[in-house]
Amino acid sequence: MNTPIRPRGLVSKQPTTSDDVAAASLDDADPSPQSGEAAPKAGTPEDATDAAQKLSPLERWKKNLKAAELSEDRANAILDAIISKGYYEQDYKLLHGRLRVRFRTRSASTLRRVGDALDQVNTNDPRVHNQVMGRLLLIDSLAGYNRTTFVFPPVSAPMDEQQMALKARADAVDALPAMVYETLMATLSRFDIQVAAAFSEGDVEGF
């Protein structure tokens, strides 16, 4: 469920959860008309709703996958991994192969910590909110960075073990060069959009 330092793809309106960020990106991902074609006239919100309702659940799901540039095979792999293991991980090679990272889907505990952190921010500036949220999302998503592998203890693990693992990831994120941080945030945004597409509306009904 991605600044000044802020996750790219976020909108100025503060989303409620990290999944809202990815869902909003999917909603805005309608393809542009081809060259030489007339752009469709803007309709009312009711027209858009009626058009969406005419699609079957499977068609809505496939439309979301296309917008996220995600194949059906990969979408099904994401679903299977999260349902069977509780998480999904994906490797990326960035900056012409110089940087290798692994991202992991987050647990519900991330949403709680993001909410707690935003409650402590003494400003309504959405840029600050996005910066705080983006940092925490990256901390809880970074499973590997070059030759370093980070651990994610289960919720049943002792609290000190969980805190040590969290601190190790937080220290690694805070030590990143600013431009590398930006690159990771852009990649995390794409990762979250694809995971959200796999679980998007249409899929939950089981087709």
Question: pLDDT by residue (tens digit) across 138-181?
Answer: 999 999 999 999 999 998 999 999 999 999 999 999 999 999 99
User: Which pLDDT belongs to residue 82?
Assistant: 96
pLDDT at 167: 97
DSSP 68-108: TT--HHHHHHHHHHHHHHS--EEEEEETTTTEEEEEEPPPH
pLDDT of residue 173: 98
Rg (CA), the chain: 18
Global pTM? 0.74
Contacts 24+ apart (CB under 8 A), 93-100: 94/183, 94/184, 94/187, 95/180, 95/183, 99/146, 99/180, 99/183, 100/144, 100/145, 100/146
Sign (positive or negative) of CA dihedral 151, 190, 94, 138: negative
What pLDDT shows up at residue 57? 87
pLDDT digits (tens, 9 = 90+) for 66-98: 999 999 999 999 999 999 999 999 999 999 999
pLDDT band at residue 7 using 50, 70 and 90 as cut-offs = very low
Using the predicted structure, report yes or no on whether residue 198 has a pLDDT greater than 50. yes
Most confident of 22-36, 103-117, 190-204: 103-117
Q: Output the average pLDDT for the chain.
A: 82
Q: φ, ψ for residue 144 (rounded to 5)? A: -155, 145
Query: What letter does residue 125 receive in the DSSP assignment?
Result: -
The token duo for 22 is 């990815």
State the sign of the Cα–Cα–Cα–Cα dihedral 195, 197, 202, 203: negative
